[in-house]
Amino acid sequence: MKQTLTTFLLLFTTTTLFSQLNNTQLYSGVDNIKTVSGLTRAQGKLKLSKQHSDSLNYGVIQTNWSIKKSKKDTVIYLLTLSVADTIFYSEFYKPYLSDDFESWYYRKLHVTIDSTVFESLNKLKNGLLEFQQLTHLPNRGIFGYACYASGTMPEDGMKMLELVDKREAIELEKWLRDINPVKQVYSYLGLKLLQARDSISLTDETTQLMRELETSSKLVYSCSGCTFWDFVPIKSQLTTDNINRFIERNKKTK
Q: Report yes or no on 142 lying in a domain.
A: no
Are 155 and 188 found together in one domain? yes
Per-residue model confidence as pLDDT tens digits over 164-205: 999 999 999 999 988 899 999 999 999 999 999 987 889 999
Please tell me the least confidently modeled range out of 4-13, 213-222, 242-251.
4-13
Which element (helix H / strand E) includes 66? strand 60-68
Number of domains in the chain: 2
Residues 6+ apart with CB under 8 A from 31: 90, 112
Are 54 and 156 found together in one domain? no
Are 164 and 65 found together in one domain? no
Question: Domain boundary residue among 76, 110, 134?
Answer: 134
Look at residue 135 in the predicted model and tell me its pLDDT. Answer: 63
Higher-confidence residue of 175 and 9: namely: 175
Are 14 and 37 found together in one domain? yes
State yes or no: pLDDT of 151 exceeds 60: yes
Are 114 and 234 found together in one domain? no
Instruction: Write down the pTM of the prediction.
Output: 0.79
Question: Domain boundary residue among 134, 168, 191?
Answer: 134
Are 25 and 82 found together in one domain? yes
State yes or no: pLDDT of 209 exceeds 60: yes
Question: Domain boundary residue among 134, 169, 203?
Answer: 134
pLDDT, mean of residues 211-234: 92
Q: Which of 23, 30, 174, 29 is nearest to 89 (CA)?
A: 30
Average pLDDT, the chain: 84
State yes or no: pLDDT of 4 exceeds 60: no
Are 13 and 38 found together in one domain? yes
Q: Report yes or no on 164 lying in a domain.
A: yes
Domain span at 57: 2-134
